[in-house]
Amino acid sequence: MGYDDVITHLGEFGKYQKRIYLLVCLPGISCAFHKLAGVFLLAKPDFRCELPFEFGTNNATYELPDNIWQLAYPKDPLTGKYLTCEYYDVDYSQGYLNGSAPPSSEGVSSVYCDKYIYDRSQWENSAVTEWNMVCGRRFLSATSDSLFMLGVLLGSIIFGQMSDKYGRKPIFFASLVIQLIFGVLAAVSPEFITYTISRMIIGATTSGVFLVAYVIAMEMVGPTYRLFAGVVCMMFFSVGFMLTAAFAYFITDWRWLQIGLTLPGVLFMSYYWFVPESARWLLSKNRKQDAIANIEKAAKVNKVIIPEDVLDNLLEDTNEEKDPLDKPKKEPSVFDLLRYPNLRRKTLLIFFDWFVNSGTYYGLSWNTNNLGGNVLLNFVISGAVEIPAYTFLLFTLNRWGRRSILCGCMLTAGIALLMTVFVPDDMNWLIIVCAMIGKLAITSSYGTVYLFSAEQFPTVIRNVGLGASSMVARIGGILAPYFNLLADIWKPLPLIIFGAMAFIGGLLSLLLPETHNKPMLETIEDGERFGKKVRQEDLLEQGEELKEVNKDAMTVPNGNGIAKDS
């Protein structure tokens, strides 16, 4: 007898579960702070080269008279905008500055500078302005965000395995302590390398804090409420998304902003006395008495009585001795997903969907600085559209099917983002509208792809498949900051790239079979057969090999929740 049988008596989502669920969802807000903070920590305000006549002065400002702009900075022949990474190599005497005619670009060379004047009207200071990550060094800010996502990738592997081995609760608190330490260290970093390494470790801890908390939440609710619990948990992340802008509005120095976004994590240290270890994990480790103690505490709060025979029979078979002659089971691997043609085709399509959804989601989230207009307002809207996106999933995932929603949302995102290529330069508001429609749609598809993938992979290899999909998704997130750099060439270019990927991904998703109201796939043979018409002779040829793989593969639990960063 397993924990799901106890849930029927305890209540699938009783008062006790609701209380703990709320507590473990709140860290999602804090983790959103860290994941989206780079937009403001690495804010790039308008800038220009410091001109020779300004050298040694401390009161130089970004604003200059129009005639000085013309006399000092060359223009891009394509866009007509001033090239603020270089200036004319002339004698900036008072007589020259009092002139009115700019020098001929053919007769006067220009020089690149290493000192800059920044527009500090909105941001008092950022890591970009402090370490001059502009012009030839602009790739450094993208690298910092990229390494943060590499940390998220490593954290999902390291902390995921550790939480399975040592328990959800100790890994949650260990991750939280590390997050607090390196959150403060990032704020006091004296140079770029220390800052970036600290941010990468913070990225890793977001997996240890939020995803482990997410697992605790999902493991204590009944099957009927898992979709609801998974979607609402992600809404807390969206709330943190929007609140990040509130911090950035009041704190305009990046060091104090980093500390301000880190300190709320201190509140979650108090969870040690309130949040229990997952009863499912305790049972999986044969710690039956500890699990029963947690169940009885929950039953008392829920005002229900668990029958003694249910508790006595709980995981009774774990006490049976193993036959020493039993052969060790072969660990499943991602190669089992790529060994057979139909399963390989579906796996590669799922990998591409994860890559596109992650890259587009984080690319759009981090691109708000490049959209023009009010940066803070753009950022808040980008977070706010996630709420209706997740609400949409609550009402449609179990009605319209997974494939239709995944395909429809990705196509909608692709079309909305690709439309920016036709928007005139003087209609910047329309670019923002298209970007936000794309963000809403890709958020829905990102929420769908997790559940859809879990239902595509057979039980014997489901965790391996989802883990590999998550790793591919992180690659999309790692590349997203570099795509956003292309906005320096043409503002809509990152949106067009994300739109093209989303559109192609949406079309390719049509090649995946629908899983709604279909039996859960159990064996690799089921996975290979699902979604194609298989001839009887083909089954006979593959049958023996598939049976051996299924016999050796390790059975893993089903996944039913939704989590962008699992």
| Average pLDDT of the residues in 153-159 | 86
For the chain, percent of residues with pLDDT exceeding 90: 42
**Residue 561: its pLDDT value, please?**
53
My answer on whether 115 and 152 are in the same domain is: no
What's this model's pTM, rounded to 2 decimal places?
A: 0.85
Which band of pLDDT confidence, cut at 50, 70 and 90, is reported for residue 548? low
CATH number of the structural domain spanning residue 219: 1.20.1250.20
**Residue 282: its pLDDT value, please?**
85
**Residue 433: its pLDDT value, please?**
93
Range of the domain at 509: 325-566
My answer on whether 512 and 561 are in the same domain is: yes
Single residue among 257, 292, 320 that ends a domain in this structure: 320
My answer on whether 369 and 443 are in the same domain is: yes
Query: How is residue 444 annotated by DSSP?
Result: H
Residue 525 CB neighbour total at 10 angstroms: 22
My answer on whether 135 and 88 are in the same domain is: no
My answer on whether 355 and 242 are in the same domain is: no
My answer on whether 312 and 399 are in the same domain is: no
Q: Which of 470 and 245 is assigned the larger pLDDT?
A: 245
My answer on whether 335 and 355 are in the same domain is: yes
My answer on whether 230 and 298 are in the same domain is: yes
| Average pLDDT of the residues in 195-212 | 91
Nearest to 146 by CA among 188, 186, 199, 184: 199
**Residue 107: its pLDDT value, please?**
64
Read off the tokens for 315: 């995981």
My answer on whether 75 and 136 are in the same domain is: no
**Residue 233: its pLDDT value, please?**
86
Output b/e per residue, 326-347; b: 16+ Cβ within 10 A: eeeeeebebebbeebeebeebb
Residue-wise pLDDT for 66-97, tens only, equals: 888 988 898 888 777 888 999 998 888 888 88
Residue-wise pLDDT for 422-435, tens only, equals: 988 788 889 999 99
Q: Is the pLDDT confidence value at 566 over 60? A: no
My answer on whether 284 and 377 are in the same domain is: no
Q: How many residues does the chain have?
A: 566
Residue 281: exposure state from Cβ atoms within 10 A (0-12, 13-18, ≥19): buried
Asked if residue 364 lies in contact with residue 382, where contact means CB atoms within 8 angstroms, the answer is yes
Query: How is residue 286 annotated by DSSP?
Result: T
**Residue 563: its pLDDT value, please?**
59
Nearest to 173 by CA among 47, 274, 294: 274
| Placement of tokens 């801890």 in the chain | 205
Read off the tokens for 450: 């997790």
My answer on whether 104 and 130 are in the same domain is: no
My answer on whether 106 and 169 are in the same domain is: no
**Residue 284: its pLDDT value, please?**
77
Q: Measured between alpha carbons, how far is 254 from 127 in angstroms, rounded to an integer?
A: 7
Structural domain total, the chain = 3
Single residue among 289, 320, 351 that ends a domain in this structure: 320
What integer best gives the mean pLDDT of the chain?
A: 84
Single residue among 296, 320, 344 that ends a domain in this structure: 320
Residue-wise pLDDT for 107-125, tens only, equals: 678 899 989 999 998 889 9
Q: Measured between alpha carbons, how far is 108 from 110 in angstroms, rounded to an integer?
A: 7
Largest CA distance in the chain: 98
